[in-house]
Amino acid sequence: MTTQRIGYLGPKGTFTKMAVDSLFEGGEFVSYETIPACLDAVENGEIDTGVVPLENAIEGSVHLTIDYLIHQVNQAIIAELTVPIRQHLLTHPDYHGEEITEIHSHSHAIAQCHQFLHKHYPNAEIFYTASTGRAAEVVKEKGPHAAAIGNHLAAEMNGLDIKESNIHDYDNNHTRFAVVQKEPKTLQVKDHPVEKHKTTVMVTLPQDYVGALHQVLAAFAWRKMNLSKIESRPMKTGLGNYFFLVDVDQPYDQILFPGVQQELEALGCKLKVLGTYPSYEIDVPAPVTK
Amino acid sequence: MTTQRIGYLGPKGTFTKMAVDSLFEGGEFVSYETIPACLDAVENGEIDTGVVPLENAIEGSVHLTIDYLIHQVNQAIIAELTVPIRQHLLTHPDYHGEEITEIHSHSHAIAQCHQFLHKHYPNAEIFYTASTGRAAEVVKEKGPHAAAIGNHLAAEMNGLDIKESNIHDYDNNHTRFAVVQKEPKTLQVKDHPVEKHKTTVMVTLPQDYVGALHQVLAAFAWRKMNLSKIESRPMKTGLGNYFFLVDVDQPYDQILFPGVQQELEALGCKLKVLGTYPSYEIDVPAPVTK
């Protein structure tokens, strides 16, 4: 069996890399700096499989993933994985209770820990970095008066300690990743339970008419197909033209989905299947607090 | 009349600041580093009005805006503005045709100009900054071999030149901002045409049951109320619980909306109006290319 080549949105020490490490059983891992670069690499065969954020990510613009999948490349979603977002306060190995005067992180991570920082470090100066991984590097250089906000992988990779764990303001924050391929190849994944099977479709409306979306959803509803997510997104052809992304809570089949498709086409809509796939929920090990 | 105090998601030289400058007629402007910090300042009366990204932003996590408005503060959306995203290649004032070996920007901006960079600067090294405004500052320090990707305001504020304008890969990219207040106060805005009036409502379902969304939309559809956007978002109470954000293309009224509300409550849903407001589309002046 040839080695699977998996690309992901980097840099190292990100939530994406944590997800990749947890899911895949072996393989060669390649980090890409942007979502388009990762998807291009799948398209031109540099890698077999790409992993990019699909919802609620810190590192990448999620709309860009959807738009690029729809407009620029011809790839299918073959799996999804959700990972909890857990932010920790990371300190220098020489830290021994000194005052922390500087806190470094990505602006989204700072925002996610807003109430924690307000309560515990109201006087620390905040510095914004391009990623949470970069923040950990900076703290390693700066010394014990500086701390970073990031995940446990960023701590490990830079030899930092986790002073306080789970400092994010909200629980139940997850990032959702899409695993995409151009040519279907077998994935070698660790022994994770498959939470459920889902199918993602894109529905394009002929024009912006009253009640159109309601008619589209009727085609799913009377077949008792459950929708777990729906989102309208503007087409790139101008303001006011929308398409809909719909997640259906069941695998693609040869009866219900073709039935929906025919019904929607009769209404002047188009339906495109972006993927039918297993959904993995991956928990990350609880970190050791120093 | 007292001076209006307007807070916005900074730092300076961002798309948010461009939007704020274009919309408001006078007033005192205060920059905040994160979305929660800006909304907290509205909540505790430091500022009268906040401006935060609602869709497709480079600088802020848009989901955070929605979640914070729903869970943390009690504020209404009183206006929205959409601004086109236009990215330019910015060079040092001493630049006279030297080779550009470094390009600096926020990772989302780099991703938005992926094809341009691939075609014109395949060998330049890419450096990631915490914001596009910061990238412009870095280029000012670095000299003529470095270039930044950012908007015309970032160029102006740092004395850079626009070498190439509109280098983003897609046209029709817009950022949408919400203008929020705790206590209704009059806004002093420049003479912009109001594109339309909209109402944003949040609908919470009693549980995840098949066809629920279809029933919710039926309440709008048979009243011929047009929906311009719909998005499902997870509740913070756990996976699998969703609420829906719905933009209705008309102002709140005392007949149709209460009718929808009663009908949805009879189904066990809850409806909360997040705001009814004018929508402004603001174009930014075409920049002068050097």
Tell me, what's the ipTM? 0.82
The single residue listed with the structure tokens 């509803």 is A221
Range of weakest confidence among A21-30, B44-53, B176-185, B225-234: B225-234
Within 10 angstroms of residue A141's Cβ, the number of other Cβ atoms is 9
pLDDT digits (tens, 9 = 90+) for A234-257: 766 554 567 888 999 999 999 999
Identify the domain boundary among A152, A183, A214: A183
Lowest mean pLDDT across A146-155, B67-76, B165-174: B165-174
B177 and B50 within one domain: yes
Say if residue A14 is in the same domain as residue A145.
no
Return the minimum-mean-pLDDT range out of A112-116, A179-183, B167-171.
B167-171
Check residues A171 and B164 and name the one with the higher pLDDT. B164
CATH number of the domain residue A259 falls in: 3.30.70.260
Which of B130, B225, B244 has its CB closest to that of A130? B130
| CB atoms inside a 10 Å sphere around CB B130 | 23
Distance CA B23, CA B49 (A): 13
Say what the pLDDT of residue B132 is.
87
Structural domain contains residue A283? no
User: Residue B98 and residue B132: Cα distance in Å, rounded?
Assistant: 22
CA distance, residue B97 to nearest chain A CA (Å): 27
CB < 8 Å to A217, chain B? 213-214, 217
Mean pLDDT for the stretch of residues B156-167: 94
Domain boundary among B153, B183, B213: B183
How many structural domains are present in chain A?
3
pLDDT of residue A107: 84
Q: Is A3 on the interface with B (CB under 8 A)?
A: no
Q: Is residue B75 part of a domain?
A: yes
Task: Indicate whether B60 and B179 sit together in one domain.
Answer: yes
pLDDT band, very low/low/confident/very high, at A290 (cuts 50, 70, 90): low
CA distances from B40 to B34, B70, B236, B250 (A): 10, 13, 19, 29
A281 pLDDT exceeds 80? yes
- Would you tell me how many other CB atoms lie within 10 Å of the CB of residue A193? 7
Q: Which member of B129, B210, B221 has the closest CB to residue A226?
A: B210
The answer to whether residue A288 sits within a structural domain is no
- Determine whether the interchain pair A60/B107 forms a contact, defined as Cβ–Cβ distance below 8 Å: yes
In a domain, A75, yes or no: yes
Residue A118 and residue A74 share a domain: no
Q: Chain B: nearest CA to A31, how far in angstroms?
A: 14
The answer to whether the CB atoms of B214 and A210 lie below 8 A apart is no
Q: Is residue B188 part of a domain?
A: no
One domain for residues B178 and B68: yes
B282 falls within a domain: no
pLDDT at A138: 96
Do B77 and B133 fall within a single domain? no
Is the CB of B183 inside 8 Å of chain A's CB atoms?
no
Residue B71: CB atoms within 10 Å: 11
Residues linked to residue B79 through DSSP beta bridges, in sequence order: B179
Q: Residue B242's domain spans which residues?
A: 195-277
More confident residue, A132 or A94: A94
Q: Which of B127, B198, B200, B214 to mutate to test the interface with A (most CBs of A within 10 A)?
A: B214
Contacts of B220 in chain A (CB under 8 A): 211, 214
In a mutagenesis test of the A interface, which of B128, B171, B222, B260 is the best target, namely the one with the most A β-carbons within 10 Å?
Answer: B128
CATH classification of the domain holding B73:
3.40.190.10
Measured between CB atoms, does A71 come within 8 Å of chain B? yes
User: Is there a contact between B24 and B188 (Cβ–Cβ < 8 Å)?
Assistant: yes
* CB contacts, 8 Å: B172 with chain A: 234-239
Residue B264, token pair as written in the block: 């949805």
Domain membership flag for residue A152? yes
In a domain, A188, yes or no: no
Q: Are residues B68 and B95 in the same domain?
A: no
pLDDT of B219 over the 70 cut: yes
Answer whether B170 touches A (CB < 8 Å): yes
> Are the C-beta atoms of A83 and A178 separated by less than 8 Å?
no
Residue A94 DSSP symbol: T
| A33 closest CB neighbour out of B35, B126, B222 | B126
Mean pLDDT of A112-120: 93
Task: Name which of A18-22, B76-80, B115-119 the model is least confident about.
Answer: A18-22
For residue B224, which residues of chain A lie inside 8 Å, CB to CB? Answer: 210-211
**For range B116-127, the mean pLDDT:** 94
Query: Is A92 found in the same domain as A81?
Result: no
| pLDDT band with cut points at 50, 70 and 90 for residue B239 | very low
Q: Tell me, yes or no, whether A79 and A135 share the same domain.
A: no
Percent of residues, chain A, with pLDDT higher than 70: 90
Say if residue A114 is in the same domain as residue A93. yes
Please tell me whether residues A76 and A44 are part of one structural domain.
yes
Give me the residue label for tokens 């806190």: A103
Regarding whether A177 and A61 lie in a shared domain, the answer is yes
Residue B152 has pLDDT above 70, yes or no: yes
Q: Is the pLDDT of residue A285 over 90?
A: no
